[in-house]
Amino acid sequence: MRRYPLIATVVMFIIVMLSAMSGDYPNLGFWGYFWYFIFGSLFMALGAMGGELVRRFIHPDVLVAEGAGDMLKKRLFWKFGPQCIGAVIGSVICGSFMNNVLGYYVG
């Protein structure tokens, strides 16, 4: 679980740099992008850690599949799926926090 803050920080750095360099997003200014990076990393890491806890709790003991492709999909989901879902939920919460508490619209 110690790797999720590092992964979230790298992902949020890429997201912030892409949103700052493209003209599609509203210009947040330096402090807006700074707080987006800080809170985005925090909420995304917390979401991924929560997804890992959910995965550990509800992971099935036996996976039944019809073939190798089906087994691959199921194994990949149970390896990465809950953490990714938690990270997406964390980023949505970050967007709501930035909009409703700090007053920055991040899209």
- Residue 48 in any domain: the answer is yes
- Residue 26 in any domain: the answer is yes
Could you list the residue range(s) of the whole structural domain that residue 40 is in? 3-102
Cα angle 47-52-53, degrees, rounded to a multiple of 5 = 95
Please check whether residue 39 is in contact with residue 79, taking contact to mean a CB–CB distance below 8 angstroms.
Answer: no
Split into its structural domains, the chain has a count of: 1
- Residue 16 in any domain: the answer is yes
- Residue 30 in any domain: the answer is yes
- Residue 107 in any domain: the answer is no
Q: What is the pLDDT along the chain (107 residues), one digit of tens a residue?
A: 789 999 999 999 998 898 888 877 677 888 888 999 999 999 999 999 999 999 999 988 888 889 999 999 999 999 899 999 999 999 999 989 988 988 888 76
How would you classify residue 104: left for phi > 0, otherwise alpha for psi between -120 and 50, otherwise beta? beta
CA distances, 16 to each of 69, 94, 105 (Å): 36, 13, 13
Other Cβ atoms less than 10 A from the Cβ of 77: the count is 14
Give the C-alpha separation, 26 to 34, whole Å. 14
Q: What is the pTM of this model?
A: 0.84
